[in-house]
C-alpha cells in the first residue's frame, strides 16, 4: 500500500493548508470566532481590574482579549487540516505568484492602493450618522492610546495578521477551492471567484460588528481578495491591511488631526474632491495592473500541494 507523503513545511501558515472549508463549514468557523470573542471578554474583565493602576492596563487587556478571539477557530482549523492531510487535497494558504509585475512593484502598488481605499471609504462613511460616543471612545482607545507602541502592536501587527489568516487564508481560500457536487452530480472545485471575493469581503465586514468600520472593511476586503486571488500571497494582503491600519494609528497620534471626523474638515472642497477622484482612478489602475498576473488556474493562485 502506498502512503501519501506529507509535505514538511514549518511555516506557521502551512498548518492550515489542508483545511479547505466550504460555506457550511464557514458557519462553524464564525461560531468559533464568536465563542472566542466571548472568551476574550471574560478574560479581559478581571485583567483590567488587576491592571487598574496601570495607565496602559486597558490596552494590555484589549490585546490579550483580541488574540483570544482567534484561538478557537485556529485550533479547529489546525486539527481539521491535520485530519484532512491523510486523504484530502491541500492548497497553500500563502503563495508567491508575482510574475510578471514582480514582488517590489506589487508591494508599492498595494500600499498606495490601501491609502487610496482609506480615503474613498472615509468619504462613504461620512454619509452615515455620527459614530456613537461609546464606539468612538473604543476606537480611539485602540488607535490613540497613551502608549503608541501598544497601539501599533495591536492595530498594525496583530489585526492584519490574525484577520488576514481568517478572512483571506481560511474564508476566501476555502470558497475558491472546496470540493462539492454540482447540479449534474459531478465533483467540482470552489465557487465563482467573484462571488468568493465578495463573500469573503462581507465576512470581513461582519466581524467588525458595526457599519462604520464595516464599510471600510468591505471595500478593503474586495481589494485584498482580488490581490489574493491573483497572487495567492497572504503576506501581500497582510501588508495592505498593515498600511491601512498604520495610517489610522499615525493620524490619530497627530494632535492637529486626531479630533477630526473626516478629511472634509481639513481639506478645501476642491482639493478634497480632486484627491477623491485621483484615489478612485488609482485603485482602478492597480486593478488593471494586476490583470497582468495570471492566476495559476481559474480558481486563483492558491497552489495545490502535490505529494510524491
Structurally, the chain folds into a number of domains equal to 1
User: Is it the case that residue 283 has pLDDT exceeding 50?
Assistant: yes
Residue 48 lies in a domain: no
Residue 187's pLDDT is 84
Average pLDDT over residues 117-135: 87
Residue 7's pLDDT is 41
User: Is it the case that residue 177 has pLDDT exceeding 70?
Assistant: yes
Distances (CA, A) of 173 to 79, 84, 179, 194: 17, 15, 12, 13
Structure confidence at residue 5 as a pLDDT band (50, 70, 90)? very low
d(CA 45, CA 16): 31
CB 89 within 8 A of CB 304: yes
Q: What's the predicted TM-score (pTM) here?
A: 0.91
* CA dihedral sign of residues 20, 26, 206, 135: negative
Q: Is 204 exposed, middle or buried (0-12, 13-18, 19+ CB in 10 A)?
A: buried
Which stretch, 139-153, 172-186, 272-286, has highest mean pLDDT? 272-286
Domain region containing 181: 93-290
Least confident of 9-18, 127-136, 175-184, 250-259: 250-259
Tell me which of 62 and 308 has the higher pLDDT: 62
Q: What is the pLDDT of residues 232-276, one digit of tens each?
A: 999 999 999 999 999 988 888 777 666 676 778 788 889 999 999
User: Is it the case that residue 125 has pLDDT exceeding 50?
Assistant: yes
Q: What angle do CA 271, 276, 282 make, to 5 degrees?
A: 125
User: Is it the case that residue 10 has pLDDT exceeding 70?
Assistant: no
User: Residue 236: which of 245, 228, 244 has the closest Cα?
Assistant: 228
Residue 153 lies in a domain: yes
Residue 143's pLDDT is 72
Residue 65 lies in a domain: no
Residue 116's pLDDT is 96
Least confident of 2-6, 94-98, 222-226, 294-298: 2-6
Q: Is 232 left (phi over 0), alpha (psi -120 to 50) or beta?
A: left
User: Is it the case that residue 135 has pLDDT exceeding 70?
Assistant: yes
Residue 75 lies in a domain: no
Residue 258's pLDDT is 65
Tell me which of 260 and 277 has the higher pLDDT: 277
Residue 307 lies in a domain: no
Q: Is 195 helix (H, G, I), strand (E, B) or coil?
A: helix
Residue 234 lies in a domain: yes
* Average pLDDT, rounded, for the chain: 89
Least confident of 36-50, 62-76, 85-99, 280-294: 36-50
Structure confidence at residue 98 as a pLDDT band (50, 70, 90)? very high
Residue 8's pLDDT is 43
User: Is it the case that residue 61 has pLDDT exceeding 50?
Assistant: yes
Average pLDDT over residues 20-41: 95
Amino acid at each position: 500500500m502506498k502512503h501519501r507523503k506529507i509535505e514538511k513545511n514549518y511555516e506557521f501558515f502551512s498548518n492550515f493548508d489542508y483545511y479547505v472549508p466550504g460555506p457550511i463549514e464557514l458557519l462553524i468557523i464564525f461560531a468559533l470566532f464568536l465563542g472566542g470573542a466571548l472568551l476574550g471578554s471574560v478574560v479581559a474583565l478581571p485583567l483590567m481590574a488587576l491592571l487598574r493602576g496601570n495607565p496602559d492596563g486597558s490596552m494590555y487587556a484589549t490585546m490579550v482579549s483580541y488574540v483570544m478571539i482567534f484561538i478557537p477557530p485556529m485550533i479547529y482549523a489546525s486539527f481539521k487540516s491535520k485530519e484532512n492531510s491523510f486523504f484530502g487535497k491541500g492548497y497553500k494558504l500563502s503563495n508567491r505568484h508575482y510574475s510578471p509585475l514582480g514582488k517590489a512593484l506589487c508591494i508599492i502598488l498595494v500600499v498606495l492602493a490601501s491609502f487610496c481605499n482609506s480615503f474613498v471609504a472615509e468619504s462613504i462613511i461620512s454619509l452615515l450618522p455620527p459614530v456613537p460616543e461609546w464606539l468612538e471612545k473604543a476606537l480611539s482607545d485602540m488607535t490613540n492610546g497613551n502608549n503608541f507602541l501598544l497601539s501599533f502592536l495591536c492595530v498594525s501587527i496583530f489585526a492584519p495578521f490574525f484577520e488576514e489568516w481568517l478572512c483571506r487564508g481560511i474564508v476566501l481560500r476555502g470558497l475558491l477551492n472546496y470540493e462539492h457536487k454540482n447540479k449534474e452530480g459531478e465533483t467540482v472545485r470552489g465557487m465563482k471567484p467573484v462571488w468568493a471575493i465578495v463573500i469573503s469581503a462581507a465576512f470581513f465586514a461582519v466581524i467588525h460588528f458595526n457599519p462604520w468600520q464595516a464599510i471600510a472593511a468591505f471595500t478593503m476586503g474586495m481589494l485584498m481578495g482580488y490581490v489574493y486571488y491573483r497572487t495567492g500571497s497572504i503576506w501581500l494582503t497582510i501588508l495592505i491591511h498593515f498600511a491601512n491600519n498604520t495610517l489610522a494609528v499615525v493620524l490619530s497620534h497627530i494632535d492637529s488631526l486626531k479630533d477630526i471626523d473626516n478629511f472634509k474638515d481639513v481639506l478645501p472642497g476642491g482639493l478634497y474632491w480632486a484627491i477623491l477622484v485621483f484615489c478612485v482612478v488609482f485603485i482602478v489602475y492597480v486593478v488593471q495592473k494586476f490583470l497582468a498576473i495570471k492566476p495559476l488556474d481559474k480558481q486563483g493562485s492558491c497552489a495545490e500541494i502535490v505529494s510524491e
